[in-house]
Structure formats: structure tokens, C-alpha cells
């Protein structure tokens, strides 16, 4: 249920994020990274399920490889993209954490009018962000696991893969 502030309750957020995870599972199994997750790129079908749109930044990228293209919406860009360290599917998991926060609060966690300031906030990390009390402990934990500075530590990128996100 959407509130007047433009955010969703936890049940609705969980459903939409689960739909995104399924879309990522499909794309990643075909070696495609999406790289532009944000509310504007999510449409709903007649049954209420999400459809990702705008594949302009999507890229075929095989396991073990990285890409260095700087792209994405500033509030959703992973630290490794900003630092030009190369990125892969773990950048999609970062953006899922940002989306989850935005769906629950109505604003992304890393938010500033100036994109350069936004990037600096991102580089300070998710632990520097104050979470509203309205976000449950479980949701906060998941967002923090998805938005780890080190891509190898992100939920979904470890041994259990995307199934770790699905279990959470």
C-alpha cells in the first residue's frame, strides 16, 4: 500500500523487490547486467508484477569479467563504478539495496541535488546513512548486506549467489 509520502509498506516492498530479484536471476543467468535499476524503470503489468524497462545500459558480461563503463543514475551507482575499479553483476545487487530503501522511505539513501556530492555520500558507505525507525531491523539488515562497499561482500554475490537474497 502506498502512503501519501510516496513510499510503500514492507510487504509491498518485499513483493516488488522479489520481482526484481527474479528479473535479475533471469538476466544474470544469460550473462546480462542491467545497470539502471530505479523506480522509473519499473512498470507494472495487469496482474501487478514488475517489468523492467530501458535496457540502454544493459550489457552482456560473462562470469569473471568486469566492465568499466561509467553509467547509471547517480543515486544508484555502486562505489566500484564511481572509483572506476570495474564492475559486474554485484552492481545490480547494490542498486537493489538502494531501491529497497527508496521504496520504504520515498527517497534513496544517497541523495543530493549535485551528482558529485551524491557520489561522495555513496563513497562514505551505507553505514553512514541514518535509517528511519520505520524500516524494520530485518529490512535494514538486508539493505546493508546489499550495499556493502566491497562487491565481494554483497548479498547475492557470495557462494550462495542470488539464492541468498531469495532466502533473506
98-109 pLDDT, tens digit per residue, is 999 999 999 999
Nearest to 52 by CA among 88, 27, 87: 27
User: Where does residue 65 rank: exposed (0-12), middle (13-18), buried (19+ CB within 10 A)?
Assistant: exposed
Q: Residue 5 has what pLDDT?
A: 56
CA 15, 18, 24, 29 torsion: positive or negative?
Answer: negative
Query: Is the pLDDT confidence value at 168 over 90?
Result: no
- Residue 45 CB neighbours (<10 A): 9
Query: Is the pLDDT confidence value at 65 over 50?
Result: yes
Domains, the chain, in order of start with CATH, read 10-167 (1.10.510.10)
| Cell representation of residue 75 | 543515486
For the stretch 1-24, pLDDT in tens is 344 458 999 999 999 999 999 999
Give phi and psi for 107, each to the nearest 5. -140, 150
Active-site residue, 149 included: no
Calculate the alpha carbon distances from 79 to 29, 53, 73, 135, 151 in Å: 24, 24, 13, 23, 9
Q: Residue 112 has what pLDDT?
A: 93
Of 9, 25, 36, 92, catalytic = 36
No. of helices (H) and no. of strands (E), the chain? 6, 4
Instruction: Give the mean pLDDT of 48-77.
Output: 96
For the stretch 79-118, pLDDT in tens is 999 999 999 999 999 999 999 999 999 999 999 999 999 9
Distance of CA 121 to the CA centre of its chain: 16
Nearest to 41 by CA among 25, 29, 23, 28: 23
- Residue 59 CB neighbours (<10 A): 14
Nearest to 149 by CA among 93, 76, 78, 68: 78
Amino acid at each position: 500500500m502506498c502512503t501519501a509520502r510516496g513510499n510503500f509498506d514492507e510487504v509491498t516492498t518485499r513483493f516488488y523487490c522479489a520481482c526484481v530479484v527474479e528479473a535479475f536471476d533471469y538476466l544474470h543467468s544469460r550473462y546480462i547486467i542491467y545497470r539502471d535499476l530505479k523506480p522509473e524503470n519499473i512498470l507494472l503489468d495487469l496482474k501487478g508484477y514488475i517489468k523492467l524497462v530501458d535496457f540502454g545500459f544493459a550489457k552482456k558480461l560473462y562470469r569473471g569479467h568486469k566492465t568499466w563503463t561509467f553509467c547509471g543514475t547517480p543515486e544508484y551507482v555502486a562505489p566500484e563504478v564511481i572509483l572506476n575499479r570495474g564492475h559486474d553483476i554485484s552492481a545490480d545487487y547494490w542498486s537493489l539495496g538502494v531501491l529497497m530503501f527508496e521504496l520504504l522511505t520515498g527517497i534513496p539513501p544517497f541523495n543530493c541535488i549535485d551528482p558529485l556530492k551524491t557520489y561522495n555520500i555513496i563513497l562514505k558507505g551505507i553505514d553512514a546513512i541514518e535509517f528511519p525507525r520505520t524500516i524494520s531491523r530485518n529490512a535494514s539488515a538486508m539493505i546493508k548486506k546489499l550495499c556493502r562497499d566491497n562487491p565481494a561482500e554483497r548479498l547475492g554475490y557470495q557462494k550462495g549467489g542470488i539464492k541468498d537474497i531469495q532466502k533473506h
